[in-house]
Chains A and B, each alone.
Chain A
Amino acid sequence: MSLLKALTLLQPKQIVWHGGSTRDMATLKDISRRLKSVKSIQKITKSMKMVSAAKYAKAERELRAARSYGLGAKSFYDNIELDKTADTTTNKHVLIAATSDRGLCGAANSSIVKNIRTQLNDTKTNLEATKIIALGDKSRAMLSRTHANNLLLSVNEIGKRSVVFGDASAIAQTVLSTGFEFDTAEIVYNKFKSAIAYTTSRQLVLSGDTINRSKNIGVYDSLDSEVLRSFQEYNLASVLYYTMKENAASEQSSRMTAMDNATKNAGELINKLTTYYNRTRQSVITTELIEIISGAAALEQKA
């Protein structure tokens, strides 16, 4: 049975306790079957927790190294102050959802999709000029149900291996060659705070034209368009790399917590089921004894 379906069993249900007189709603065989399946689920979630703990340790280590790099790349956009008076209705905007292919990671992927959905459902948003790039199958699946027209591009094979700069630069290349000339883009990702906390954040990215139009660009000495283009492309790849690294660490920590909770729930359920099983077994034995004894007593009386 699918793991997801089986996990619904892990919500500790109220076990209805009948008196010994009524026939039990579940026979011994049913209970023992259920008990066996919950036990194997507990083993699976426990091992998934350990695997994601190891992946989390690696992701956090790599993030620490990538943070300075990423913050350096980010600071370029901070220094280029976007012209606030620019007409935002004609602004072509792209939302890049940084999620992963795999689920069972708590709210990590769904919080990003929720964040994007609230913006898309907001009446002030110009849906024609807003496109989505889905990194990871999870966001693609969730967004293609409701906003398939806005989905520009999707990327998968994310989440299995850790992100390298080559991946980010390949993605950046694809983003820039979709044919949709965007003015601004925002990467929606989960910023890693600690092993139990992350925040869904957005990182603004500007297109080459927007940078050229901004007022601060004149500060930079003798900048020619070729250099600016190369610079902006490289910066996009760097920022993508950084946000994907943050997201990976958040995802693994979230999965670790989710699997830990699932294991605990499974343990509770196992305890409850075992108690129920034993009581059922005892009541079956008692019933059999009563039948035998009353049968023997009836015979004795006759004699």
Chain B
Amino acid sequence: RIVAMNSMSVRNQTTTTAPATSAAGSGADMIFTFAAPSEVFYNQSKNVKQIDVPSMSGNMGILAHHVPILGVLKPGVVAVIENDGTTKRYFVSSGSIAVHQDSSVQLLAEEAILVENLDTKAAQDTLSDSQRKLQSAKDEREKAEAQIEIECAEAAIKASQ
């Protein structure tokens, strides 16, 4: 899952003013869907101004009329900024992001939780468990699995603080 960061433009935290594609609707806002397999956070919501997502190719800020993209998420925090300015922060473990030509955005997370509900202690316990697993890993596959766990637990700890 390690994507080589090449000369492809790395979008950083500040908003990207991507050129509005000619196919964009007449001033249509972003239609935002954010869901996990067991919970829905936003369903075709028109109330969202901007989202910041931690993708494999770096942190991205997405507004309405963003250029269509497909991306894969890495463990981190998704910030959703609604039209009235309120920001909600969710920790996501992994997933995918898709922005289509009609300004519809689908953020599908495997697991997502509000950062307020993160338990730092549990995350730290998981981190030490997975570090131990890495030590005792027997083959490449177990090593990779342990490393993924570590990455996720570290991001969770960071997000909860």
Q: Residues of B within 8 Å of A, CB-based: how many? A: 36
Judging by beta carbons under 8 Å apart, are A238 and B108 in contact?
Answer: yes
Q: Mask for A32-66, Cβ within 8 A of B = 1, else 0? A: 00000000000000000000000000000010011
List, in ascending order, chain A residues with CB within 8 A of B18's CB.
Answer: 221
Instruction: Name the residue on A nearest B101 (C-beta).
Output: A219
State whether the Cβ of A231 lies closer than 8 Å to any Cβ in chain B.
yes
List, in ascending order, chain B residues with CB within 8 A of A68's CB.
Answer: 33, 35, 40, 43-44
State whether the Cβ of B26 lies closer than 8 Å to any Cβ in chain A.
no
List, in ascending order, chain A residues with CB within 8 A of B1's CB.
Answer: 230
Judging by beta carbons under 8 Å apart, are B72 and A73 in contact?
Answer: no
- The verdict on A165 contacting B108 (CB below 8 Å), with A221-B69, A230-B1 known, is no
Mostly helix, strand, loop or mixed at chain A's interface?
helix
| Contact with A231, one of B8, B33, B37, B72 (Cβ below 8 angstroms) | B72
- The verdict on A227 contacting B39 (CB below 8 Å), with A72-B106, A79-B100, A222-B9 known, is no
List, in ascending order, chain B residues with CB within 8 A of A75's CB.
Answer: 98, 100, 104, 106
Residue with the highest number of chain B CB atoms closer than 10 Å, among A72, A76, A234: A72
Judging by beta carbons under 8 Å apart, are A219 and B33 in contact?
Answer: no
| 8 Å CB interface, A46-103 against B | 62, 65-69, 71-73, 75-76, 79
A235 to B6 CA separation, bound complex (whole angstroms): 24
- The verdict on A230 contacting B56 (CB below 8 Å), with A68-B43, A69-B37, A223-B70 known, is yes
Judging by beta carbons under 8 Å apart, are A69 and B35 in contact?
Answer: yes
A-B pairs under 8 A by CB, number: 90
Judging by beta carbons under 8 Å apart, are B71 and A65 in contact?
Answer: no
Q: Residues of A within 8 Å of B, CB-based: how many? A: 30
Judging by beta carbons under 8 Å apart, are A227 and B57 in contact?
Answer: yes
State whether the Cβ of B119 lies closer than 8 Å to any Cβ in chain A.
no
List, in ascending order, chain A residues with CB within 8 A of B43's CB.
Answer: 68
A139 to B109 CA separation, bound complex (whole angstroms): 31
A220 to B38 CA separation, bound complex (whole angstroms): 28
Judging by beta carbons under 8 Å apart, are B68 and A227 in contact?
Answer: no
Jot down 12 A-B pairs with beta carbons below 8 A, ordered by A. A66-B38, A68-B40, A72-B107, A73-B106, A75-B98, A75-B104, A76-B70, A76-B98, A221-B68, A230-B1, A231-B96, A238-B108
- Residues in B lying within 8 Å of A, measured CB to CB: 1, 3-4, 6, 8-9, 18, 21, 33, 35-40, 43-44, 56-57, 67-72, 94-96, 98, 100-101, 104, 106-108, 110
Starting from the known contacts A71-B33, A224-B8, A226-B3, 5 additional A-B residue pairs (CB-CB under 8 Å) come to: A72-B35, A72-B98, A79-B98, A227-B57, A234-B110
